[in-house]
Structure formats: C-alpha cells, structure tokens
C-alpha cells in the first residue's frame, strides 16, 4: 500500500513546476522586446575657435564644457539602423542626425553626451527631446527644440544665448555679459532665469496669457508693467545687455544667482 504522503509530494512538485512554467510563459508573451542599442564614440582634436553644430531628431543631448582641447562625442542609438556621420569642417563639428537618416522610418531616439572645450560655440537643436548645456564660456549658446522638451543651461558665460521650445521648461543659470543678447522663448512651460543681482541689462518679458512675471529681487523703480501686466520692461544697471523673454502660455521667473 502506498502511503498518502508519497502521492501528495509528487503532485505538489508537479503543480509548482506547472505554475513556474506558466509564469515564465506569460512573461515571455507580455514582456516588451528590448531593442538592441548601438553605441557611438568619437573624439576630435579642437583648436581655439571651435563650434559644435548638432541637429537631432529625438532624444536627449547633453553638452558639457571641459578643460581639454578635444571634443568627445558619445551617443546611444535606440535603433541599430540609425547612423551618425559627424563632420569636421573648418573648425566646426557638424552632426546632423536628420540628414544622415533621411528616408529611414525607424530611427528612434539618439541620446548624445558631448564634451567640448569651455570656449566652444554651441548650437544644438532637436525635433523632440531635452537639451542640456553646462559650463560654457563662449560667444554663442543656442538651444532650439522644435516641439517639446526641456532646456537646461547652467554655468553659461556667453555673449549670445538663445533658447526656444514649444512646450517644456527653460532654465538658465549664468551671467549676462555687457553688450550681450539673451533670448528665451516658449509656448507652454515655465521659464526660470537665474542671473547675478548686479547684472546690467534691458529686459522685455512678456507673458500674455498668464501675466505671470515674477521679477523677484530684480524689482526696482525702472520696471514698468505694460498692456495690463502682460509685459514688463525694465532697465537694470547701465542696461548694456539685452534680454528678451516670451512665454505665450506659461510663467516667467527671475532668481538671484
């Protein structure tokens, strides 16, 4: 006679095995396929007067200044069929993902991490995605997002800065150099500017829908609210720099650096 315990144990083991196999089966069915990523890496020697010009389709671009005379480009390509063909033309490093992948349907996101000398002129744009620029001391920093994405510019000491997107936040942390031009524009999102208290500039800030313009510590007797508070114009110090901020459906805030 076979005891009851001798029958129950194999049955329990069979049930456990079946459960385990079922779980594995379900995981295999419902798990999303992980696309095979591709890595790209290249380094260029950089001279004194160098410029980075990048046009991305989708993804995050991070540009960071460093104390070396070379440009390091690293990229992660979501789609293995996507290609990047950087060019070095007369002191300008040109990366154009849109042009390089014209006619391809499955390009996916391309995330860049680029390190450049501090004095590099940075001109980057993307159709969709975030743009981040740190530690740049040059004549130009331009960040343009055709549609949505955040723009973060920190430690910027440039005489010309432009940041524009349709939707997404814009954050600028840097100085306003004498005679410089600074332009920040968004349709929907928050624009936050962190600048030195002693900066000299003329300002035109416009937020027509929200009228949300916070000058913080920069409020003084030279600021005027126009058009029912939709626009603020002001002059700080000798007003040598020009600052234009426009946010169609969001807020504008100034912070002391």
Q: Which residues contact other proteins (rule: CB under 8 A)? A: 57-58, 98, 102, 105-106, 108, 127-128, 146-148, 166-167, 187-188, 206, 208-209, 226-227, 230-231, 246, 248-249
CB neighbour list of residue 36: distance below 8 Å, 6 or more residues apart: 80
Supply the minimum distance, in Å, between the C-beta of residue 81 and other proteins: 12
Q: Judge whether 247 and 189 are in contact, CB under 8 Å.
A: yes
Our CB check for other proteins shows the closer of 249 and 256 to be: 249
Supply the minimum distance, in Å, between the C-beta of residue 132 and other proteins: 19
Our CB check for other proteins shows the closer of 4 and 32 to be: 32
Beta-strand runs (E) in 137-257: 141-145, 151-156, 160-164, 170-174, 181-186, 190-195, 201-206, 213-214, 224-226, 231-236, 241-247, 251-256
CB neighbour list of residue 14: distance below 8 Å, 6 or more residues apart: none
Our CB check for other proteins shows the closer of 128 and 140 to be: 128
Supply the minimum distance, in Å, between the C-beta of residue 5 and other proteins: 57
Supply the minimum distance, in Å, between the C-beta of residue 204 and other proteins: 11
CB neighbour list of residue 108: distance below 8 Å, 6 or more residues apart: 35, 58, 77, 78, 79, 82
Supply the minimum distance, in Å, between the C-beta of residue 127 and other proteins: 6
CA 206 to chain centre: 23
Our CB check for other proteins shows the closer of 76 and 155 to be: 76
Our CB check for other proteins shows the closer of 12 and 249 to be: 249
Supply the minimum distance, in Å, between the C-beta of residue 189 and other proteins: 10
CA 93 to CA 50: how far, in whole Å?
8
Q: Judge whether 205 and 224 are in contact, CB under 8 Å.
A: no
CA 139 to CA 117: how far, in whole Å?
13
Q: Judge whether 232 and 205 are in contact, CB under 8 Å.
A: yes
Q: Judge whether 230 and 206 are in contact, CB under 8 Å.
A: yes
Our CB check for other proteins shows the closer of 34 and 217 to be: 34
């Amino acid at each position: 006679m076979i005891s009851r315990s001798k029958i129950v144990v194999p049955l329990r083991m069979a049930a456990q095995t079946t459960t385990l196999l079922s779980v594995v089966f379900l995981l295999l069915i419902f798990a999303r396929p992980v696309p095979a990523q591709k890595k790209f890496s290249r380094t260029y020697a950089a001279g004194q007067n160098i410029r980075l010009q990048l046009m991305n389709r989708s993804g995050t671009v991070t540009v960071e200044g460093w104390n070396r005379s070379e440009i390091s480009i690293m990229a992660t390509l979501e789609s293995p069929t996507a290609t990047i063909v950087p060019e070095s033309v007369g002191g300008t490093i040109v990366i154009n993902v849109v042009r390089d992948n014209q006619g391809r349907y499955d390009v996916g996101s391309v995330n860049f991490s680029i390190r450049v000398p501090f004095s590099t002129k940075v001109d980057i744009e993307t159709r969709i995605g975030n743009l981040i620029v740190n530690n740049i001391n040059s004549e130009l920093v331009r960040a343009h997002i055709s549609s949505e994405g955040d723009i973060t510019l920190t430690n910027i000491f440039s005489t010309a800065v432009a940041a524009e997107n349709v939707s997404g936040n814009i954050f600028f942390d840097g100085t306003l150099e004498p005679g410089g031009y600074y332009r920040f524009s968004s349709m929907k999102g928050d624009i936050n500017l962190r600048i030195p208290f002693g900066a000299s500039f003329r300002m035109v800030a416009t937020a027509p829908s929200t009228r949300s313009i916070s000058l913080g510590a920069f409020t003084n007797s030279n600021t005027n609210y126009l058009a029912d508070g939709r626009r603020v114009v002001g002059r700080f110090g000798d007003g040598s720099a020009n600052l234009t901020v426009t946010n169609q459906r969001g807020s504008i805030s100034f912070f002391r650096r």
